[in-house]
Amino acid sequence: MTEKKVYADFMEWLSQSWYGLPESEELLPLIKARFSEEEASFLTGFPYRRTPIAELAELKKMEEKELTEKLDALALKGLLWKDHKKGSLRYGLNDLFFSVYRSGFWPGREDEYTATMAPPANRYLTNGALDNFAMAENKGLRTLPIRETIMPNTTVKPYEDVVKLLDAFEYYTVSACPCRFRKQLDPDSETSKKPLEVCLHFDELGHYIVENNLGREITREETEQILKKAANAGLVHGLSNWQDKPDTICNCDKDHCFMFEAYHDLNHHKSLDRSNFEVETHPSTCKGCGLCVKRCPMEALKLTEYPDADQNLNKKGLTPLLTEDCCIGCGVCVVKCPTQSLILKEKREEDRTDPPQNALDWTLRYLEAAKSGKKLLR
């Protein structure tokens, strides 16, 4: 079979995952950078479902021992899922979004293989990869407010309370942020100065990551320190966008995160889904420094004239004005305000939303939206 046919068949197979495979001239170079011809041929028809090794051995007509060695090597590259469930070793093919935009860069390796993948991955991201996400009402992540920025005595739902979330997890891991690392490896992209090792995963996904050298185990205390460092650096916490068993907390920045690229550069109607909070400003104590405006990843704040400003405190006579529709309720502006003139307050009842119930619910909504073909743009 020719190389062209091998990759064509493989792309056809990849297009059958939940993610689909938006077409683009950038796609083939990316797939060739991520999968060798031999891997593409071997993985065509490989089940997405987590499948016991005995079943796979039959499918591939190979001895279990020899096949296990082969599959382990592919899991170490982040191309296959691997777990031990129901008394059996299982593997499943990761969709392209996972194997490029997540596992491809989690290890933070500066080797030639990863560096070759970065430029086409960046180009495909703004030229096809997010086409189906444009139609999704619920994005992959939901804003998780910085806990200390929420107005005291507020009842916070479990999926918005980082302390309760961390209490519920049993296993904590960290990897490199794939978005920032991908840009760092690409000579055509700007490098970020924000912390890199801040991509947090938990429990089942965490075990997969550590067992396959895609990240490292950390303690709960280290997890809290990373979240604090991220918040101080102006990164937005983003939680898997479902209520039962979320497994990821991303720490995203305006200039490198694909969620914000989708909003600012591709005009998607959202970046991350909004939390049930929004910022409240207190102009009487504001000194008009503009730090909150610079830190806001959504450009939701603008400095405007404030004639009632106390001239001793606020020499510029300026204070931030909020565009409510743009605020995702992250608290990034609040946490560093030198005069505590900002706070996160709960939104009106009628404006509050809940995330989808579980990962399956999220996926079904995504598939329904992708089928509609209707892009939700600003």
| Contact string 233-272 vs ligand SF4 (x = CB under 6 A) | -----------------xxx---xxxx-------------
Site string for ligand SF4, 132-171 (x = CB under 6 A): ----------------------------------------
Q: Are 145 and 278 in contact (CB under 8 A)?
A: no
First to last CA, the chain: 46
Asked if 338 touches ligand SF4 (CB under 6 A), the answer is: yes
Cβ(18)–Cβ(367) under 8 Å? yes
Residue closer to ligand SF4, measured from CB, 90 or 102: 102
Strand 51-52 to strand 277-281: parallel, antiparallel, or no bridges (unpaired)?
A: unpaired
Assess 185 for contact with ligand SF4 (CB under 6 A).
no
47 forms part of the interface with ligand SF4 (CB under 6 A) = no
As measured in angstroms, the least distance from the Cβ of 21 to ligand SF4 is 20
Looking at residue 298, the DSSP 8-state letter turns out to be T
Does residue 342 touch ligand SF4 according to CB under 6 A? yes
Least distance to ligand SF4 from the beta carbon of 70, Å?
A: 29
Q: Is 184 in the site for ligand SF4 (CB under 6 A)?
A: no
DSSP per position, 96-162: HHHHHHTTTTTT---SHHHHHHHHHHHHHIIIIITTTGGG-SS-SEEE---GGGBPTT----GGG-H
Give the CA radius of gyration of the chain: 22
Establish if 331 lies at the interface with ligand SF4 (CB under 6 A). yes
Q: Determine if 223 is a binding residue for ligand SF4 (CB under 6 A).
A: no
Contact call for residues 160 and 277 (beta carbons, < 8 A): yes
Residue reference for tokens 């979240």: 227
Site for ligand SF4, rule CB under 6 A: 177-180, 199, 250-252, 256-259, 279, 286-292, 295-296, 298, 300-301, 319-320, 322, 327-333, 337-339, 341-342
